[in-house]
Amino acid sequence: MTAPTIPANRAPADWIRAVLRVAPAQFPVGHSLRAGLSVGLPFVVGVLLGQTLNGMWVGLATLLLAAGEREGSYRLNFSIIAVSTPIAACGYLLGFAQNLPLPALVLIAAVVAFAAGAIAGLGSAFSVAGMQFLLVAAIALGVPHVDWWTAMGLYFVGGVFYALLLAIEMLVIPRRPQRIVLISLLGALSDLAAARAADLADGGDRTVAARRQATSAYQNAVGRASELAARPSWSTRVWVMDGEVLSAADRVQAFLVAASDAAAVEAARARLSALASEVAATARSHRRDTRPTTPPADSGSTVDLLGRHTDELDRLLHSGGPAKTPHEPLLTMTLSHEVMMAACRLSLCYAIAVAAKLYFPFSHWFWVPLTVCLVMKPDFGSVFSRAVLRVLGTAVGAAIATVVLLAVPKGWAIGLVIGLLSACVPYLMMRSYALQAVAIAPAVILLVDVIQPGDASANFSIQRIGATIMGGAIVLVFGYLIWPHSRRVWISETFATAMNRIADHLQLAASPIPDSPADAARRHDDLVGARRAAYSALSDLQFRLRRALAEPGVGGRTAAAWIPAVSAADRLADLVTAYAGQRHEGAIPADPISGTEMAWEISEAGGAPDRPPAEINSCDPDGPLTGISGELAHLTSLVEPVEADR
């Protein structure tokens, strides 16, 4: 393995900034309206009909579904509802076990928590289902004197109600998920073109950051393209998003990175910006005769490859016809070692939290396991920072709930407040984990307040804060500190994978182009696949880096030390892409020997070579691989061999 030199200290302000980082996000109008209506309306109707408790059970179900909804396709979110609703509803069955001896209760909690953590490896829907099951189970274990069959049935009512609201949005705006990511993709490509043109003009280094954004936008679009086809008659006159369109966009990105003609890049930028504006305009008008005019390509722009691929993207975007994108399977079956280890940590912490019935002397002890399962979800980022943010956010949320309970009369007015808080959840959970807790905590407190009404209900907020601190402490000690595996940042392994993928891309790019059209097409497909694999591995590396930066101590210092090397790897990948573009144009000859040798050097710099050593010759100082060689030398100077991340 390799790693950079790790500094002895890291400024506390750097870690605090990483933990409290607020991500940019657009306000999800449909999701927020659906969350507010689905949670607040059942509560208000229940109050007006004298069935407040039943309204609360429905609202609790829809609150969990709103928090579990992803900013993805309708197909994904319907699958989440279909999978998570029956699994989560079964959590109420643990209510029948709440009077068992505590050792038996703790054992049952450990088993079900392990199962809930393990099924996270089956896909997004099962990951959400596992979390919701544990949340419901925590309430069922801690709230006495409830008809759990009724609560289970009303959870299904909440699931149907939430699915109905989602279906209404799908009928009104059938392709909203695709439109959002398509606008983002075209905008990111336009930004990449602007950055590339600026770099060609003044020799700057803006392309790498812009290409990262374009890669992320492309990957998001690929995920949304698995949506079930929903093509109104006007769609063939407006725009289409399918696998062919995304492949064309990917080719445009590659040739933007490889471009050396500033005028051609600027022309591509103008056209991509116009295409993004056109797709955005369809959100406001679906009339057949309302297609904004996209500026045509210059008469000479189709002569160069960038212009031709931009033309192709424009043509495919307006091609119409049936969708050509295969649907992704809902079941992924990736029960990896990491998933199993996370399930073990979750099982231990959840069992200890359920034992709070013995050592937490308050009626709402069940908020301890509830907090644990929220914090411990393995797909939410750093465990340590989640625990810190959960405590901070819940403390603020509990204070909000206390003010509401003291100031707002009991009854339907509380339901309006619950609806408003729930409407904020989708946006806030996109911005920050702490902000998400600020909205969810008071909504849950106000909902559960119905179970034990009266003047003392405001004290539940104090209990919630105490239980949250207790749950956070359990997670930090038994889910983090005692597990060396969980404190490793794993950047060196991910870095090695990315370097190997870059090496594969370079070796293919340097190979001769076969004379046979069929063989040439196969080589081209392999080359495109290698480039996508390299950029995908670099995206995984960036994700791992951001996640590790939120860790305290040596984990955060290790991540901070990797930043220059990761940036150099991005630049190296872009240089390889530029080299592949020159080879595609026939501007430079094949050089399989030098390409193979340098590919091995790249893999060796990653610390995990997957090819046998070759005799290394010095690079021709005037050759086409000079730039790659120079960046590789710079990258190598930033890392050194180590056993593993410390």
At 349 the pLDDT is 92
Which of 437, 454, 485 corresponds to the end of one domain? Answer: 485
| 419 band by pLDDT with thresholds 50, 70 and 90 | very high
Give me the number of domains the chain comprises: 3
Q: What is the average pLDDT across 187-216?
A: 89
- Which segment of 123-132, 298-307, 330-339 scores lowest on mean pLDDT? 298-307
Instruction: Tell me if 1 is assigned to some domain.
Output: no
| 298 band by pLDDT with thresholds 50, 70 and 90 | very low
- Which segment of 10-14, 186-190, 497-501 scores lowest on mean pLDDT? 10-14
User: Based on the domain organization, do 220 and 292 belong to the same domain?
Assistant: yes
User: Based on the domain organization, do 124 and 106 belong to the same domain?
Assistant: yes
User: Based on the domain organization, do 529 and 471 belong to the same domain?
Assistant: no
User: Based on the domain organization, do 13 and 155 belong to the same domain?
Assistant: yes
For 471-498, what is each residue's pLDDT tens digit? 888 988 888 778 776 556 578 888 889 9
CA separation, residue 573 to residues 206, 496, 609 (Å): 14, 13, 17
For 573-605, what is each residue's pLDDT tens digit? 998 998 888 887 776 888 888 888 889 889 888
Q: Which residue has the tokens 């990175």?
A: 257
Beta carbons of 109 and 350 less than 8 angstroms apart = yes
At 115 the pLDDT is 92
Instruction: Tell me if 324 is assigned to some domain.
Output: no
The full DSSP string for 492-529 is HHHHHHHHHHHHHHHHHHHSPPPSSHHHHHHHHHHHHH
Q: How many other CB atoms are found less than 10 A from the CB of residue 415?
A: 27
CA separation, residue 36 to residues 19, 44, 153, 271, 596 (Å): 28, 12, 22, 39, 58
Instruction: Tell me if 31 is assigned to some domain.
Output: yes
- Which segment of 127-131, 297-301, 308-312, 594-598 scores lowest on mean pLDDT? 297-301
Q: Which residue has the tokens 């406001």?
A: 284
User: Based on the domain organization, do 551 and 601 belong to the same domain?
Assistant: yes
CA separation, residue 90 to residues 84, 108, 111, 399 (Å): 10, 14, 14, 32
Q: What is the average pLDDT value for the chain, to the nearest integer? A: 80
Greater confidence (527 vs 389) lies with 527
| 232 band by pLDDT with thresholds 50, 70 and 90 | very low
At 430 the pLDDT is 81
Q: What is the average pLDDT across 14-43?
A: 80
Compute φ and ψ for 410, nearest 5 degrees: -65, 145
At 397 the pLDDT is 83
Q: How many CA atoms lie within 13 A of 199 on its CB side?
A: 20
Q: What is the average pLDDT across 382-392?
A: 71
Q: What is the average pLDDT across 257-269?
A: 87
Tokens of 216: 């992320």
At 92 the pLDDT is 94
At 383 the pLDDT is 62
At 309 the pLDDT is 86
User: Based on the domain organization, do 120 and 186 belong to the same domain?
Assistant: no
Angle between helices 305-317 and 553-585 (to 10 degrees): 100
User: Based on the domain organization, do 344 and 461 belong to the same domain?
Assistant: yes
User: Based on the domain organization, do 183 and 54 belong to the same domain?
Assistant: no
At 231 the pLDDT is 44
Q: How many other CB atoms are found less than 10 A from the CB of residue 506?
A: 31
User: Based on the domain organization, do 346 and 279 belong to the same domain?
Assistant: no
User: Based on the domain organization, do 188 and 160 belong to the same domain?
Assistant: no
- Which segment of 9-18, 107-116, 435-444 scores lowest on mean pLDDT? 9-18
Instruction: Tell me if 646 is assigned to some domain.
Output: no
At 633 the pLDDT is 87
Instruction: Tell me if 420 is assigned to some domain.
Output: yes
Which of 317, 351, 374 corresponds to the end of one domain? Answer: 317
DSSP 481: I
Greater confidence (205 vs 183) lies with 183
Residue 229 CA to residue 224 CA, distance in Å, equals 11
What's the domain range around 536? Answer: 490-641
Instruction: Tell me if 3 is assigned to some domain.
Output: no
Instruction: Tell me if 388 is assigned to some domain.
Output: yes
Q: Express as a percent the part of the chain with pLDDT over 90.
A: 23
pLDDT exceeds 50 at position 293: no
Compute φ and ψ for 641, nearest 5 degrees: -65, 140
Which of 436, 457, 485 corresponds to the end of one domain? Answer: 485
User: Based on the domain organization, do 554 and 575 belong to the same domain?
Assistant: yes
| 609 band by pLDDT with thresholds 50, 70 and 90 | low
Q: What is the average pLDDT across 358-384?
A: 75
pLDDT exceeds 90 at position 156: yes
The β-bridge partners of 2 are: 641
For 522-558, what is each residue's pLDDT tens digit? 988 899 899 989 998 888 888 888 777 767 666 677 7
| 291 band by pLDDT with thresholds 50, 70 and 90 | very low
Instruction: Tell me if 552 is assigned to some domain.
Output: yes
Beta carbons of 273 and 234 less than 8 angstroms apart = no
Q: What is the CA radius of gyration of the chain?
A: 27
For 11-25, what is each residue's pLDDT tens digit? 556 656 666 677 777
| 500 band by pLDDT with thresholds 50, 70 and 90 | very high
Residue 429 CA to residue 23 CA, distance in Å, equals 10
User: Based on the domain organization, do 12 and 160 belong to the same domain?
Assistant: yes
